[in-house]
Amino acid sequence: MQIGRETQESRFSRPPSPEPSPPQRDRSETGPRLPSSLDRALQEQGIFVGTGRLRIAAERAAIAAESTLPVLLLGETGTGKERFAQMIHRLSSRRDRNLIAINCSAIPREIAESYLFGHIKGAFTGAISDKKGVFEDADHTTLFLDEIGELPIEIQAKFLRVIQEGVVQRVGSTLPHRVDVRFIAATNLSLREEVARGRFRQDLYFRLEVIQIDLPPLRDRLHEIPELALTLLEQINRRRLRPSHLSKQALERLEQYSWPGNVRELSNVLERSALYARTDNLDPSDLLIPDDTPAQSQLACVPDPVTGFLVEEYLAEIRRQLFLRALAKSNGNQTHAAALLGVSKQALSRFVSNYMSNQRDES
């Protein structure tokens, strides 16, 4: 079982597209351009952020990278928390050293303290020599603690001292060791609920959530799936002798699935579909989606009116999703998006302005 790992950074370059390029996005219409350093870091980690909540999360992560404060990444499994951690490290002053990543849920409880803090010779049966722990190994670099909610509660008080004072005390020793570690933690749990249930220390939670970044699930970004799928397939094609391409119908099929496994599941589907497809052109029938039933048809999703139902709120959300999908299909060009929707460019511009303002308020 591999508990910890050092991850190497790999450069991502986008190969030429086999189809004509869509119209270039008018960045004056869709918001400020991402800083070039962030743009490069996103490409290196293969992260597609689009124009909504994930883009704002990336911008916040870039700002957080400039500090040494702990960062807490929240999101469902498969939303890209480790890639975000790598991006933050890549943009930090510690980028010359490899980020160290560990999965807290994979650490056996009986060796957790020794594994994290180290031990001295004779501290317990089998301790035949002094050994540094992960915290000392991560001195002067970034330590990514995935599944932080699974850290044994008996270890949490000692971990809190490392964050607060930068001091590690090996098992069996009374001598403190100074360390300089940047902590990035991640979880798919609600740590507030874990605190309420007595499974996570409140003081540790407040130390970790100084900078909190939420990564949205893929089902909240369905309008971005076509461009995300093309980006992922380009990465897959770099490892293949024969590149594959997605048809328009295949892209539409991908938008109909709910993606409970998020970006990781989408990547897996594209990987195996490209492997087993009869031709290099992937059609809907070539997509090996585990649950081969689309999320639901549009009419099937229409709710039955009940007491408390607000039709205007429901219609406003449908309108928002249609506008976002039109912008995605037109690569951000508002003139083309307005034509797809049958509205004026002024109406589309008002929507974009209000949407970006609301996204920033929510963040």
Residues 162, 223, single domain; the answer is no
pLDDT in tens, 146-196: 999 999 999 999 999 999 999 999 999 999 999 999 999 999 999 999 999
Residue that wins the pLDDT comparison between 136 and 339:
136
Mean pLDDT of 70-81: 95
Angle between helix axes 53-65 and 345-362 (nearest 10 degrees) is: 50
With H, G, I as helix, E, B as strand and everything else as coil, classify residue 337. Answer: helix
Q: How far apart are CA 187 and CA 196, in angstroms?
A: 16
Q: How far apart are CA 210 and CA 189, in angstroms?
A: 17
Q: pLDDT-derived band of residue 137, with 50, 70 and 90 as boundaries?
A: very high
Mean pLDDT of 257-274: 93
Q: How far apart are CA 312 and CA 243, in angstroms?
A: 46
What pLDDT is recorded for position 3? 52
- Is 311 a member of any domain? yes
Nearest to 213 by CA among 324, 63, 95: 63
pLDDT in tens, 290-334: 864 444 445 555 666 777 778 887 788 888 888 888 887 777 788
**Among candidate residues 252, 270, 295, the one where a domain is terminated:** 295
Residues 270, 304, single domain; the answer is no
Residues 66, 180, single domain; the answer is yes
**Among candidate residues 295, 316, 332, the one where a domain is terminated:** 295
Mean pLDDT of 14-18: 43
The residue range of the domain holding 245 is 219-295
Q: Which residues pair with 143 in a beta bridge?
A: 100, 183
Q: How far apart are CA 71 and CA 92, in angstroms?
A: 13
Residues 284, 308, single domain; the answer is no
Residue 301 tokens, joined:
């999703």
- Is the pLDDT score of 15 beyond 60? no
Q: pLDDT-derived band of residue 4, with 50, 70 and 90 as boundaries?
A: low
With H, G, I as helix, E, B as strand and everything else as coil, classify residue 194. Answer: helix
**DSSP-derived secondary structure for 44-90:** HHT---TTSHHHHHHHHHHHHHTS-S-EEEE--TTS-HHHHHHHHHH
With H, G, I as helix, E, B as strand and everything else as coil, classify residue 305. Answer: coil
When divided into structural domains, the chain yields a total of: 3
What pLDDT is recorded for position 312? 82
Residues 246, 189, single domain; the answer is no
CA distance between the termini of the chain: 38
**Among candidate residues 275, 295, 315, the one where a domain is terminated:** 295
What pLDDT is recorded for position 326? 82
Mean pLDDT of all residues in the chain? 84
Residues 166, 186, single domain; the answer is yes
Signed CA dihedral, 211, 324, 283, 233: sign only? negative
Residues 199, 50, single domain; the answer is yes
Residue type at 230 in one-letter notation: L
Residues 242, 350, single domain; the answer is no
- Is 28 a member of any domain? no
CATH number at residue 158: 3.40.50.300
Residue 48 tokens, joined:
């597609």
Residues 202, 330, single domain; the answer is no
Q: How far apart are CA 128 and CA 26, in angstroms?
A: 64
Q: Which residues pair with 119 in a beta bridge?
A: 131, 171
**DSSP-derived secondary structure for 204-245:** HHHHHTTEEEEPPPGGGGGGGHHHHHHHHHHHHHTT-SS--E
Q: How many CB atoms lie within 10 A of CB 105?
A: 13
Percent of the chain with pLDDT over 70: 85
- Is the pLDDT score of 2 beyond 60? no
Residue that wins the pLDDT comparison between 295 and 337:
337
Give residues with Cβ within 8 angstroms of 180, minimum separation 6.
139, 140, 166
Q: pLDDT-derived band of residue 359, with 50, 70 and 90 as boundaries?
A: low
Q: Which residue has the tokens 């849920």?
A: 105
Residue type at 69 in one-letter notation: L
* C-beta of residue 243 within 8 angstroms of C-beta of residue 198: no
Residue that wins the pLDDT comparison between 251 and 309:
251
Residue 229 tokens, joined:
């799928």
What pLDDT is recorded for position 363? 55
Residues 101, 115, single domain; the answer is yes
CATH number at residue 354: 1.10.10
- Is 27 a member of any domain? no
